[in-house]
Structure 1
Amino acid sequence: MSASTSGGGSLPPQAAAALQEGIGLVFGRWTALQMAVENEWGGPDSRAKADQLAASILSWFTNSKGPYYYEDLEDMMFDRIYKSLNSNFADGSIREVAEQFFIMHEECLENNFSSIEKLRNTRPQGNLVSQSRQMVTEEDDDSSDDGDEPSMGEDKAARSDDMAVDQPKPYKPTPGADGWTVVPPRRGQGKN
């Protein structure tokens, strides 16, 4: 993807304001980022650090001379999230969010605000972080499904819940008096 660039050119004030709004809307829907903020992974000022990241992304698009390289934005976002929020989002969401920002920037250069309008008009389904916590809680108490169609995030969580059933519980070995540690057999191995 090294060829993915966004053309140079400065954004008119209206387009810059729309891009700023779009960045804020995407950040508000980004579950991994919201979890990092709510759980204060970057300390008590995690919200301010996330706001600073949003401002840095806007500045990157509005104050830098193009062409803009997608990898540069992704690297900058990864670096800032890692350093300021003590987080490493291994879910691929940084790449997805960077792609969305590139699309919004390209549209704003053409005074096309359709993707931002779409975000503005579609409300996130409740608090995504609370939904994530609720799914973890439901996994623990084995409560049944209420019959509603799962959202895309819940569907992914359901698939990971199915996989988690087969995972062994973490085992913390403790050495015996003789210094040797007994390790239990792995589940399912050695059975034919």
Structure 2
Amino acid sequence: MSSTAYDLAVVEAPTEAKNLQFEDEKQQARFELGVSMMVYKWEALEVAVANSWGGPSSAEKRDWITAIVVDLFKSEKIVDAATIEETLLYAMIDEFDTNVEDESTVPIAVGIIDIYKQCQVQDYSTVEQLYTKWVEKQNSGESAKVITIEEDPLNPDASSCDEGDEEDEDEGEGEEDIEMNDQPSSGPVVDEDGFELVQKKGRR
């Protein structure tokens, strides 16, 4: 991705508006689902959740990250890709003790800005495509790679991934399953039209 595309990834609210939140509920719902799908698409975070690097509430923490990104648009008149990227990186450090240095946040941040711009003109095609792919991935049972930490001979007390970790992962996967007419405890909540607001989680 070129630096020009990154620099141009910014949205600004009209002069009379207090923030970037959409007044139309459908637009806001689609945008929030789009943010959720982009956050779920982030491989570094997916691996962190699968390996429970944020503890037993790792899946909930991922939803909390979605919520704080959405809050940027509810509280600010200008949001750019750099702000979103910074928010994602700090959240990974604070919640998962993981420092991401592979620039994988760049396409996620730019993608969120693009989705906002599309929702402005009521184009929800990208959001629907992301959601469809996410559902297909859930139905296929595909999951992120679980990383096993070998025992460090210099630090024999260091814990390694065991069956308990796998159980945590299985529990996390269960929480992410979505039925169109149900409201799960984790993951994007959808209504009868297939879309709904992302429910904000409290920080854990």
Q: What TM-score comes out, normalization by structure 2 length?
A: 0.57
Query: In structure 2, the residue corresponding to 1:40 is in which secondary structure?
Result: coil
* Kept after mapping to 2: 8 A contact 1:6/1:69: yes
Aligned residue in 1 for 2:151: none
Aligned residue in 2 for 1:7: 12
Amino acid at match of 1:22: G
1:129 aligns to 2:144 (yes or no)? yes
Matched residue count: 131
1:37 aligns to 2:49 (yes or no)? yes
Query: In structure 2, the residue corresponding to 1:115 is in which secondary structure?
Result: helix
1:47 aligns to 2:80 (yes or no)? no
Check 1:85–1:115 CA distance in 2 against 1; reply closer, same or farther (3 A cut).
Answer: same
Please report how far the alpha carbon of residue 76 of structure 1 lies from its aligned counterpart in structure 2 after TM superposition. 1.2
Aligned residue in 1 for 2:164: none
Please report how far the alpha carbon of residue 71 of structure 1 lies from its aligned counterpart in structure 2 after TM superposition. 0.9
Q: Distance in 2 between the 1:23 and 1:69 partners? A: 14
- Pairwise CA RMSD: 2.1
Please report how far the alpha carbon of residue 91 of structure 1 lies from its aligned counterpart in structure 2 after TM superposition. 2.5
The one of 120, 142, 157 aligned to 1:109: 120
Q: Distance in 2 between the 1:38 and 1:29 partners? A: 13
The one of 107, 121, 137 aligned to 1:96: 107
* Kept after mapping to 2: 8 A contact 1:6/1:106: yes
The one of 67, 71, 76 aligned to 1:65: 76
Amino acid at match of 1:4: A
* Kept after mapping to 2: 8 A contact 1:18/1:116: yes
Task: Among all aligned residue pairs of Structure 1 and Structure 2, give the percentage whose two residues are the same amino acid.
Answer: 21
Q: What TM-score comes out, normalization by structure 1 length?
A: 0.61
Q: Distance in 2 between the 1:115 and 1:19 partners? A: 10
The one of 74, 82, 90 aligned to 2:93: 82
CA-to-aligned-CA distance 1:120-160 (integer Å, 9 cap, x gap): 23333752414x77xxxxxxxxxxxxxxxxxxxxxxxxxxx
Amino acid at match of 2:9: S
Check 1:101–1:3 CA distance in 2 against 1; reply closer, same or farther (3 A cut).
Answer: closer
Check 1:120–1:4 CA distance in 2 against 1; reply closer, same or farther (3 A cut).
Answer: closer
1:120 aligns to 2:114 (yes or no)? no
User: Which ranges in structure 2 are unaligned for 5 or more consecutive residues?
Assistant: 1-5, 14-19, 148-204
CA-to-aligned-CA distance 1:4-63 (integer Å, 9 cap, x gap): 3112143121111112212222233332211101211122221121111011111112x1
Aligned residue in 1 for 2:200: none
User: Which ranges in structure 1 are unaligned for 5 or more consecutive residues?
Assistant: 134-192
